[in-house]
A and B are shown apart, each in its own frame.
Chain A
Amino acid sequence: MKRGFKRFLIRFLKIVAALLVVLGLAGAALGAWYVSHLSGVVKAKFEGRKWEFPSKIYADSKIIYPGMYLSTDEVRDKLRRLGYRVSKARPRTKGEYRILGKNAVIEVYLHDFRYPLRDFRGFPVRISLKSGTIHRIQRLDDNEVLPSLELEPELVTGFYDRVREQRRVVRLDEVPARVRKTVLAVEDERFYYHRGVDPVAVMRAFLANVRRGGVVQGGSTLTQQLMKNFFLGSERTLERKVKEALMALITEWLYTKDQILENYLNEIYLGQNGAQGIFGIWEAARFYFVKEPEQLTVGETALLAGLIRAPNRYSPYRSAGEATRRRNVVLAKLVSDGIITRRAYEHALQEVFEKREPVRLTNSAPYFTDYVKKELAEHYSEDTLTAEGLRIFTSLDLEIQQAAEKALSEGLARLEKDYRHLRKTAKQDDLEGALVVIKPQTGEIKAMVGGRDYGKSQFNRVAQAKRQPGSVFKPFVYLAALTHGSAQGSGSYDSTTYVEDTPFTWSYGEKEWAPQNYNRSYEGWVTLREAMEKSLNAATARIAQDVGIGKVREMAYRMGIQSRLPLLPSLSLGAVEVTPLEMAGAYSALANNGVRTHLLSIKNVLDRDGDALEKRHIRVKRVLSPRVAVDVHNMLRGVVERGTAQRMRALGFTRPAAGKTGTTNDSRDAWFAGYTPDLLALVWVGFDRQSELGLSGSSAALPIWTDFMKRATSRLPVVDFVTPPGASARGADPRTGMVPGPPRNALARAVAR
């Protein structure tokens, strides 16, 4: 029995041993497979795309020059938005500025900036002001007096996917040794002495936690933290900890300490700026101190490293007191570890965190950036735009954009206040508007406001809304007349040619069309100039009939209208649908002596390394003879001085200007397209669902245009339009463009008699 039991026991033990061996082998195989799997995961991350870099949209750079109107407040605002910080002494490092002597002198140490095709190296410069204008711009390093100075472009927004991460990746050798040492001292002082998991740190943390009866200390190494950030969540489970440890060990096996540290310094989360997370040492140095890592002081470096534990709690933007306490803890650690001297420690303790507000990156031109994105989408995928870190330089002028936003929102609110019926309608259909601003000589889109409130409606009424332009279309009829003359053989036209403004019927095919004037009153015989100034429908339709509607359509296309235009008589009065943007583009030729410019929003696209992917240049095309362009331009000046837009002067805009009002027959759309020598702006007012507006272009759109132009041109010198030599009508008054003397066509002479 005993022998039998013994034999049984031996056999049993053998079986158990065999089972254990099998299990052990299976476990080892499984473990090996798992390690290999995790190695694959780690390798894929380290060697693939680790982060997504949103593409960044920049506004146009600003050029300042002696003689330019500029107040200290404007410079201060601009520098603040560009991330410059105030300095009490003369600026010694890039990104500092100070204002001296009752605001008369501004000293700035300019940032470096990588422009398309050139790297700009920042230098110190002094801008002296006198009576609200720039008196002199002088470099402080070599005393060279500069004829102009370009301030780097402002960042408008980024194209984000789901995650809104702000991060600039730097190489390890771009991070100063002091910053590296401080981070390691705080987060993982035995970094160079462990292999991913540090049993000493784990034991120390365990004991500390037992002693305090809760979790007060962590034993994670920097590599483990990196694994957690790269692959795992922040859940506190044993499973996650084991996996984190495993991956850390694998990572240390596969990669060098420097590679791991570099990734850590770029990956680490360091705070929040509105909706955007701040990641990496470079971005954090920029966000908290407006400096690059090599410019940080000992105290700032200590705080930056201290922030890693709880970025939002210790943020100096949130609480200077908490931030200072945390910094002091780190400084004490640094001095006890011998990383800084006692003297440096004492000095760093004296550093005070200046009370500052973070520069919030709020997209101040959302319709414009949508428009840019749409243009880019023709050449770049969504993934490229949100992850490849392209830098897109645009034509946007943020100051003009701000003026446009304000003028439109205040103007629409004013209309609702003044006209009760607009408020009633607004319950079902919101009163909306659009404003676009172009530099006529270059075609650059300087501002774009596609609606009243981007938060409520992202529909861009500048580029997407097809609306009837009404009388804003009329200049094309006059251009066709001056260019081609009569198709019926009754001669050529000029601004003094007489036309009949009386009711008539235009028969075409089997149909008839009877144009009527806005207020049903007719002027009889009028010159072309008067017909344009008073926006007379019947006279304009007669001209179109005489010239041929085909010629009118051809002229509209030539000027840049891209929408399909039906060949109908009502085309002459703008009974077609076009977008405000194409109409503004077409007017640029009138503002530019007959030269049409292609609209330009994107100027350059660079990849993340700064190499140019795309350059778009100013393109011009002469579409009108200078004389015809100047003739119609002079008529449009008459519209402002004596015609339907003369209210502009009553509203206080006194600079040279030209333009045309537009109101559709059913009063659903109100327009004003107008320009000064420097800027062309077009305003549209109406309802999205085509409710009746009941207001003319002069009442609804012109006040908004005037308000905008008053704001946008207030800092520009008053200049008059430049007429090319020989382009004016013979004997014309250069100021008004009017030709003295008797009427010039036979019909007119007959009328005059």
Chain B
Amino acid sequence: MQAVKNAVIAAAGMGTRLGAGKPKSLIKINGKALLEYQLSLLANVENVFLVVGFMEEDVMTFASKIRRDIIFVRNANFQHTKTLGSFYLAARNINGSAIFMDGDMIIEPRTFAKFLETAARLDDNELLIAVSKRISDDPVYCAIEQRGDDLRIHGFSFEEKSAYEWANVVYMPAGLMINGSSHTFEHLQKFLPAAAKVIDRLEIDTPEDLRGAEKFFKTNDWFGIN
């Protein structure tokens, strides 16, 4: 068993739907920035790559105070790329596998820890795709087959409804990332079927999401802070 060594967080986007006038990763929820929640999940991962773009210096100044040894990857073309493009910029120099995660959500730590444990047990060339119980308004559904505790994902779809949706987190060999303009899940389609694991999460895309998250944390203590 080899512990997960590399993690990539895509935080280059403008977060326009949130309209906060600052990068989404710096938005505070219950007094803690979105990025702090994500970094706290990766305390035991040796190399953390944070892809920055929009207001990059603000993000770097803030993030380096939380974790000094972050490797910042610049996506100067952030206005014209999707998450996959940001992932690729970090992936191109990573040897071995990495966790790739979108920076626009809060993930529940216990389910994420299980995801890390499962990822560490995989063979070198295997993928582990995170799915979650449906939370999005416009979900990417996942066709899931369950065998005991093990889940396998067979496909992504906007139409074929399912209880699970794509969670924007994947553990995979960095060499399989490409520099594309498609959605990450469209690229992952090539590698299915693959192992899947459920994580709980909250997406922060809109002002409603933000209010919803603050309300959610009044009754759900994911981070032991209440």
Chain B associates with chain A: no
Where the two chains meet, the residues of A that have a C-beta atom closer than 8 Å to any C-beta of B are none
